[in-house]
Structure 1
Amino acid sequence: MKQTLGQKLTRTKPVGTSVDDGGAHAGGLKRSMGLFSLTMIGVGATIGTGIFFTMVEAVPKAGPAVILSFLLAALTAGLTALCYAELSFRIPTSGSSYSFAYATVGEFAAFVMAACLLLEYGLAASATAIGWSDYLNHFLMNATGWQIPEALRSPMLVAGPEGTEFHFGHINLPPILLVVMCGILLIRGTRESATTNAVMVIIKLAILLFFVAVAFTGFNADNFTPFFQPNTAAGFTPMQGVTAAAATVFFSFIGLDTVATAGDEVRDPSRNVPKGILLALGIVTVFYLLVALAAVGAQPASMFAGQEAGLAVILQNVTGKSWPAMVLSAGAVISVFSVTLVTIYGQTRILYAISRDGLIPKLFQKVNPRTQAPVGNTLIVCLVVGTVAGLVDSGFLWDMVSMGTLTAFMVVSIAVPVMRSKQGESLTKGFKVPFGPYLVPGLSVCACLFMMKDLSSTTYTVFACWMAVALAAYFAYGIRNSRLNRPA
C-alpha cells in the first residue's frame, strides 16, 4: 500500500538509522575528534562573529544596555543548549537540528529545518568572511602602511541610508580568498581542519584577553550613563532596542549548533557532544560579556555606529599607540578564519546528512576515499559563500542569520518532549533537560519568539521567499527521492 501525502510529510527516521548511518563504514565519515577538538569547534564558530563585528550593529540599537542584549541572547542560547545536549545524546549523528527534527516531528518539518540551517550557515559564513576584510586591511595599514584599494574591499551591493545601492566595478576580494583557503583546508580532511581550528581558537582567546586588559585601562563609568538610551532614528524604545540588539547578536551563538553537526565524526558522540555544547556555551558567554563590558566602558556608545575594525580602533584610542591595535587586528584575522572555517564545515555536514537521506542529490554525500572529506559538497558551498561574501554588504545578512538560528533553536526545543514521549523516561544514562521535558523547552521557544518579534519586515519577507523556494524543492525532488519513500 502506497503512503498517503500526509504519511509522507510526517514519516520519521528511526533513531537507530540515524546513528548507524554515521558510522565508519566504507564511504562514510570517520570518527576522528575528541571532546577538546569538538569544544574548540563550538568556540571557534561562535567567538569572533558577535564580538568583532556585531558590536557595530548592536550598540547603536541598545546603547550601553547592549550588555543586557548579550545576557538575553546567552540566556536563550543556554535554554536551547540544554535541549541540544539531550537530543545529541539520544540522536548522536550529523545534521544537528535537521536530524533531530527528522527523528521526531517528521520529514516535512525536517526539510523546512534544513532550509533554515542552510540559510543560517551559508549567510553566517559569508557575513564573517566579509568582516575579515576590514581587520585585514587595518592590520596591513598598521604593519606596512599599505591599504587594500577600496574597489577591491567593498561589495557591489551596499545597504545605504536611502536603501540598496549598486557600486558596479567593486568586489570584496579578501573574503573570497578566505573562503578559498578554508575550502582547501576542509578538502584535506576533518582531522587537519579540527587541529588547525583548535590552535586558532587558543590564539583568539588570548588576543581577546589582551583586549580586555588594555581596554579596562581606559574604562570610564560615564559611558554607561544613561544605561538605557532610546533609538529615535529607528523608532525603538530603550527595551525594544535591547531586544532588537539581542536578536542581531543571537546568531553569534551558532557555534552550539555547529557542535551538533559533527555527531558522525566524534568519538563517543553520546557523551562528548552534550559536553561539548555546554562547555562551548560557558566559554563563549564569559568572553562575550567581558569584551562587551570593556568595549563600552572604553568608548561612548555613540562612536560605535559605522566603525570599521571597531575593537582595534578602541585600543588605538585608549593607548594612543598603533601596536596594540595591530595585535588585535592580527588576532581578528586569525579569529575570523576559524569562524569561517567551522561555519563552512557545519554547512557541508548538514548537506551531507540531507543527501544521505535522499532529499537532495547524491553529490552532496560523496566523500573522497583517501581524505574522507565530501569534496564536491565543499566546493559547491565555498562557491556560493564566496560569491555572496564578495558581492553583498554584510548589513543584509546579520538578521537573516538570526532568523535561521532562532527557528532552528525552536524546532530543537519542540523536539525534546516529542523524543521523550517516543523513547520514554526509561533512559537513565546520559544528559536530560532538567525540570521535566516541558518547562525548559517551553521557555526556550518563548525566548526565541520574543527576540524574533523585533527583526525587520525585510528579514521576514526574504525568509518567506527562501521558504517558498525550499518547499518547491522538497515537492519537486525530496518527497519522491526520500529513502523513506516506500510502502508503509
Structure 2
Amino acid sequence: MVQQTPTSPPLPLGKQLLRRKPIVFQHKHHLGEELARNMTTFQLMMFGVGATVGTGIFFVLGEAVPKAGPAVLISFVIAATAAGLSALCYAELASAIPVSGSTYSYAYHALGEFVAVIIAGCVLLEYGVATGAVAVGWSGYFNELIESIFGWRLPQALSVAPIPGTDGDPTGLINLPAVVLVLLCMLLLLRGASESAKVNAVMVMIKLGVLLLFVVISLTAFNKDHFANFFASGFAGVSAAAGTIFFSFIGLDAVATAGEEVKNPQKALPRAIIGALVIVSTIYVLVAFAGIAAKPVSFFSTQEAAEAGLAQILKDVTGSTIWSTILAAGAVISIFSVTLVTMYGQTRILFSIGRDGLIPHRFTVVNPKTMVPTYNTIFVAVIVALIGGFVPAEYLWDTVSIGTLMAFSVVAIGIMVLRRTHPDLERPFKIPGYPVTPILTVIICAYIMWGLAAITWVIFLVWLAIVVLYYFAFGRRHAKLNSYTSPEEIAEPIGRLDDE
C-alpha cells in the first residue's frame, strides 16, 4: 500500500475554491473505498418513505397547526410542491451521478469545492439534528405506550432534556429513551446496509398501516366547524408552518445517499425517489386533514399534542385506549425506521466527504465483512445521542428545515449548471419542464426559508462559519484533488490509502 500525504494546494486560493470534481465516466466517480451494491429498488423506496413518513407527521402537527390553523393543509401542499420539484431534480442528478454523498457530491461535481463544503455543512446539520429531533419525538410515544400497557411512565428525570424548552417547561436529567433508540439503530447499521434495509421495509409497512388506521377512525369524528376561520393566521402563518413541515421531507435526500449501495442505480434511484414522494405526500395530507377534522386548532397547542398527538386524538375519539395504544405501538416501531435511515444517510455523507480528503480518512475505513464504515457509524451515533438526550425538540425543527431547503436549492442549481457544462452526460432520467422546474424549486425553497425565524438563521450562519473555518484549517490542505492535475489522472487512484 502507498501512503498518500496531502500536498500544498497547486492552485491559487480562488481557483481552488471553485474547482470541480471531474465526472470521469459512469462507473467510477471516485477514488478509494467501495461500498457493496446489494439494495433493491423497493428497499430503497422504503428507505425514502421510512425517513419521511414519521419524521414529522407523528408529532409535527403540534408544531405546525398553531402557526397556520386549518390552513396548515396549504402549508403541507406548499412543502410537498417544493419537495416534489426537488425530487425531480434529485432524480436527474442521482441517475447521472449514482454515488454516495447525495447533495454534497452533486455540488462538488457541479458547483465547485467551496460550495460543496457549505452544502456538506448543510446536510450534516440536516441529518444530525433531524435524527436527534426524531429520537426526542419517539421518546414521547414510548412513554405513551408503556403508560397504556403498564399504567406508569418513565420519571421526568429520565425522559426530558436538561435544557429548558422554549415554553419554559420543567426539565429532567436526560432523555434516556432517545439515547437508547440511537444506540439500537447504531447496532443495526453496524450489521450492514442490506440488513438495515430489510428491517426498515417491515417497519415502513407497519407505519403506513397504523397511519391509515388513524385516518379512518379520526374521520368518524369529522366536524366542519374545525375548518372555520381557515386563514385566520394569514399567509405569514402558512409560510412559517410550511418551513417547519418541510423538515418532514428530508427522506428524499436519504434515498440519494444510497447511490453506491443499490442495484442498477441509474434506474433505481429516480424510481425510488419519485415513488417515495407520492406515498409521503398522500399520507401527510390525509393525516393532517383527519387530525383537524377530529380536533379543534386549540388542541394542537397542548402538551398532549406535543408529546403524542395522534394517539391522544384516537383516545378522545373512541373513548378507549385500545386504538391509541395500537397507534403508539406503531409509532414506536416505525419511528425507529426514521432514526435508522437518517443516521444511515449521515454516515454515507461523511464517508463521501472523507473519501475526498476533506475530513480525516478514518471516516472512510470500511469493515471488510459488513462493508460498513464502522468508526463513522459509531461517531454519528454518539453525536446524535447527545443531541437527542440533552436538547428539547422545539429547538431542532426549524434548524433542520433550513439545511434541507439549502440542499434542495443547490440540487436545482446543479441541474442547470451541469446541463451547460456537461451537455453530453448520460442522464437516464431528465426532469420535465426544464428549465422551469429547477427555477421554481429555487423560488419555492427561498419562499419557505423567508418564513423561518431569525434565531434559526443565526444558528445556521454560526454553524456555517464553523464549517468554513474548519475547511480553511484542515480540509483545503488535505483535499484529494490537491494530488491530481487533470481529469485523466483522477480516473484511477495513484495509491490506496492505508487504513488508519
Which category describes the TM-score, using the shorter chain as reference length? over 0.9
**Cα contact 1:3–1:486 (8 A) shared by 2:** no
Alignment deviations for residues 410-456 of structure 1 (CA, whole Å, 9 cap, x no partner): 100100011111221x45761111122x2111110000110101111
Distance across 1 between alignment mates of 2:30 and 2:14: 28
Match of 2:229 in 1: 226
Correspondences of 1:24-423 after superposition (within 5 Å) = 27-161=33-167, 167=171, 170-230=173-233, 238-305=234-301, 306=303, 307=305, 308-423=307-422
Q: CA deviation at 1:130?
A: 0.4
2:473 maps to a residue whose letter is A
| Paired amino acid for 2:432 | P
Matched letter for residue 464 of structure 2: M
**Where does residue 431 of structure 1 map in the other structure?**
429
Q: Distance in 1 between matches of 2:67 and 2:250?
A: 21
Letter paired with 2:174: I
CA distance 1:106–1:302, change in 2 (3 Å)? same
Q: Which residue of 2 aligns with 1:468?
A: 465
Shift of 1:60: 0.2
Shift of 1:50: 1.8
> Does the residue aligned with 2:452 lie in a helix, a strand or coil?
coil
Separation in structure 2 between the aligned mates of residue 171 and residue 134 of structure 1, nearest angstrom: 13
**What is the percentage of aligned positions where both structures have the same residue?**
50
Structure 1 residues 18 and 454: alpha-carbon distance in aligned structure 2, compared to 1, 3 A threshold: farther
When residues 18 and 155 of structure 1 are mapped into structure 2, their CA distance, relative to the original with a 3 A threshold, is farther
Aligned to 1:456: 453
TM-score by length of structure 2 reads 0.92
Residue 160 of structure 1: how far off its partner (Å): 3.3
d(CA) in 1 for partners of 2:384, 2:408: 23
Residue type of the alignment partner of 2:115: A
CA distance in 2, matches of 1:127, 1:411: 24
**How far apart are 1:79 and its partner, in Å?**
0.8
Q: Does 1:16 align with 2:24?
A: yes
Q: Distance in 2 between matches of 1:19 and 1:187?
A: 26
1:6 to 14, 17, 21: 14
Deviation, 1:376, is: 0.4
**Mapped contact 2:96–2:427 kept (Cα < 8 A):** no
Instruction: Tell me if structure 1 keeps the 8 A contact 2:166–2:395.
Output: no
Aligned length: 474
Q: In 2, are the aligned partners of 1:3 and 1:487 still within 8 Å (CA)?
A: no
Given that 1:18 and 1:91 are in contact with CA atoms closer than 8 Å, whether structure 2 keeps it comes out as yes
State the TM-score, normalizing by the size of structure 1. 0.95
Q: Does the CA contact (< 8 Å) of 1:220 and 1:298 recur in 2?
A: yes
Unaligned runs of 5+ in 1: 231-237
Distance apart, 1:229 and its partner CA: 1.9
Unaligned runs of at least 5 residues, structure 2:
1-8, 486-500
Q: Judging changes above 3 Å, is the alpha-carbon distance between structure 1 residues 95 and 379 closer, same or farther for their aligned structure 2 residues? A: same
* 1:17 Cα deviation from its structure 2 partner: 6.6
Q: What do the CA deviations read for 1:333-362 (whole angstroms, capped 9, x no partner)?
A: 012100000000000000000000000001
Q: Is the 8 A contact 1:12 1:105 kept in 2?
A: yes
User: What amino acid does structure 2 have at the position aligned with 1:440?
Assistant: T
**Residues 1:485 and 2:493 are matched in the alignment:** no
State the AA in 2 paired with 1:9: L
* Distance in 2 separating the partners of 1:78 and 1:19: 28
Q: Distance in 2 between matches of 1:427 and 1:31?
A: 22
